[in-house]
Amino acid sequence: MTYFANKPATEYSALPKLLLDLGAVLYCKTNVPQTMMTADSDNNVFGRTLNPSNLKLTAGGSSGGEGSLIAMKGSVLGIGTDIAGSIRIPSVCNGIYGARPSSGIVPFAGQQSPEDPGMPGIEVVAGPMATSMRACSFFMKTIMSAEPWRYDSSCLHLRWQGQQSSRKPRIGVVFDDGLYTPFPPVRRAIQEAAQKLRDSGVDVVELRLPNVAEAVGITYGMFALDGCQVSTFDTTQALANAFQLSLFKISSRQARSRKSSLSRGST
């Protein structure tokens, strides 16, 4: 993805266009992995994003730069993109709030992608990463109230409804997915959350998720519909660019040394 650092876009994509029209002030772009779809934000152009809680731990990815920046209060709200956890993994690693909306809610059109245009399958979405749930809600309310379908033809004509539950909430709790055992602190966090919900009068029901292994298998199949040719091409291009860049450096160094020998010759 950082291959695009040498090919900057000439116009804003749908979401920043909408935000700018609403008066937002955009002040930085944050780090991502070399190829996207990686849970660690490290690349050969900008380097590795570190986790402000502990510099030896990953900041997650792919929206890892955003997660790290928000965790160290460098921003109250940012936007990540998510196709398998790229908003949520950095949110987990950095202890911040992050929401992946369903597709067709937040505009996504016009974003640079390591994927062929129009590739079907799992929908990549944009969503908020923030220091509070209030900020995530504010973002969703603002976007959904601003007729996002005017900016992106794939957005649903669906306005913010601010729905409140009209009954005593009923919340399912899942302790593990049937494939991987959560670590002890994660088990504690879910137990405590379930207990707090029960204590506050919420109806809590313990559940097991159906067909997880099958869903995971299909998802990986859908990610590779094009045989991953586009990202391979991008990586090859990035290598080619890096090679050209090093050739350029060598030739400019040669030019400099010629110049310096000339200047030496003149003295």
Q: Looking only at residues 56 through 95 of this chain, which bind other proteins when binding is defined by CB under 8 A?
A: 56-61, 71, 82-85, 87-89, 91-95
Nearer to other proteins, 26 or 133 (CB): 133
CB 250 to other proteins: min, Å: 31
The correct pick among 205, 262, 264, 265 for binding other proteins (CB under 8 A) is 205
Burial 137-173 (b: 16+ CB within 10 A, else e): bebbebbbebebeebbeebeeeeeeeeeeeeeeeeee
Q: Does 240 bind other proteins (CB under 8 A)?
A: no
Nearer to other proteins, 211 or 236 (CB): 211
Q: Measured at the alpha carbon of residue 101, what is the angle toward residues 99 and 102, in degrees to the nearest 5?
A: 155
CB 226 to other proteins: min, Å: 13
Q: Does 144 bind other proteins (CB under 8 A)?
A: no
Instruction: Tell which positions 165-184 bind other proteins, by CB under 8 A.
Output: 165, 169-184
Rg (CA), the chain: 23
Q: Does 200 bind other proteins (CB under 8 A)?
A: no
**CA–CA dist 98, 62 (Å, integer):** 13
The correct pick among 20, 76, 207, 247 for binding other proteins (CB under 8 A) is 207
DSSP state of 119: -
The correct pick among 1, 69, 96, 238 for binding other proteins (CB under 8 A) is 96
**CA–CA dist 93, 165 (Å, integer):** 31
Q: Does 106 bind other proteins (CB under 8 A)?
A: no
Choose one: 16-24, 146-154, 188-196, 241-249; the region binding other proteins (CB under 8 A): 188-196
Nearer to other proteins, 95 or 260 (CB): 95
The correct pick among 16, 78, 98, 148 for binding other proteins (CB under 8 A) is 98
Count of residues interacting with other proteins (CB under 8 A): 81
Instruction: Tell which positions 217-236 bind other proteins, by CB under 8 A.
Output: 218-219, 221-222, 225
Q: Does 139 bind other proteins (CB under 8 A)?
A: no
**CA–CA dist 28, 64 (Å, integer):** 14
Q: What φ, ψ does residue 125 adopt, rounded to 5°?
A: -130, 155
Nearest to 92 by CA among 116, 68, 56: 68
Nearest to 84 by CA among 100, 68, 72: 100
Preceding peptide of 166 cis, ω within 30°: no
